[in-house]
Chains A and B, each alone.
Chain A
Amino acid sequence: TQLLEQSPQFLSIQEGENLTVYCNSSSVFSSLQWYRQEPGEGPVLLVTVVTGGEVKKLKRLTFQFGDARKDSSLHITAAQPGDTGLYLCAGGTGRRALTFGSGTRLQVQP
């Protein structure tokens, strides 16, 4: 089983701070997705990256896929309480099902 390790596991910050979440693996992925899950709901896709070195921006969120396609990062600028949730990375390998990371629980205090 291919493993995706996320760090940190928990993060509690004040509104307005910046943060970065990391997703690392020893395996190469054909694509990498980031999801956010809020309490009582299923995960919802934020972004998909497919090319090594690719950078995508979604408002205050910046996603990067590593050059070797083994790692990814999510950077949030000026975090807001609405960013609170569980962030999950998921790697695609060509088989039909994604492999998910262990998750990063983010709490943004007002």
Chain B
Amino acid sequence: DVKVTQSSRYLVKRTGEKVFLECVQDMDHENMFWYRQDPGLGLRLIYFSYDVKMKEKGDIPEGYSVSREKKERFSLILESASTNQTSMYLCASTKGTSPLHFGNGTRLTVT
């Protein structure tokens, strides 16, 4: 069974801090994604990566960056956290046209 692991379930950070959200998958999937989930807005795509060192902007990339140095790991970076980035962050991976496999999410609060 595919496992997508997000390093933290809950994070509390202060405005202006640099924040790293880590995601690791164990099934050699080439595609990895970061979504944020807010009530009434569903899942919105921040960034995705289809290969090591490759990245593409999603629908809401502003204020975020990503890093994919190894195939199994995809990091989301908030360069200077702001209160409007308080949200649930979901990482997912897939291979080819197979379904998305999601992690359990990181709930980030920026104060």
Contact = CB atoms under 8 A, between A and B. Distances in A.
Given A42-B103, A97-B58, A102 B41 contact: yes
Given A44-B102, A48-B99, A100 B43 contact: yes
Contacts of B31: 96
A103 B39 CA distance: 9
B20 to A, nearest CB: 19
Contacts of A103: 40, 42
Contact of B43 (A1, A48, A88): A88
Interface string B47-65: 0101000001011000000
Interface string B80-105: 00000000001010000001101111
A43 interface: yes
Size range of the chain A interface in the assembly: 20 to 34
A110 B103 CA distance: 29
Contact of A45 (B42, B45, B100): B100
Contacts of B43: 43, 88, 90, 100
Contact of B104 (A41, A96, A97): A41
A47 to B, nearest CB: 10
Interface string A25-59: 00000000101000011111100100000000000
Contacts of B33: 97
Interface string A1-18: 100101001000000000
Given A1-B59, A100-B45, 8 more contacts: A6-B42, A43-B90, A43-B100, A88-B42, A100-B42, A102-B40, A102-B41, A102-B42
Give me the 7 closest cross-chain CB pairs, A-B, nearest first: A42-B102, A100-B43, A45-B99, A102-B42, A100-B42, A103-B42, A97-B48
23 contacts: A4-B42, A9-B40, A33-B99, A35-B100, A40-B105, A42-B90, A42-B92, A42-B105, A48-B99, A88-B42, A88-B43, A96-B48, A96-B56, A97-B33, A97-B56, A98-B100, A99-B45, A100-B42, A100-B43, A100-B44, A101-B42, A102-B42, A103-B42
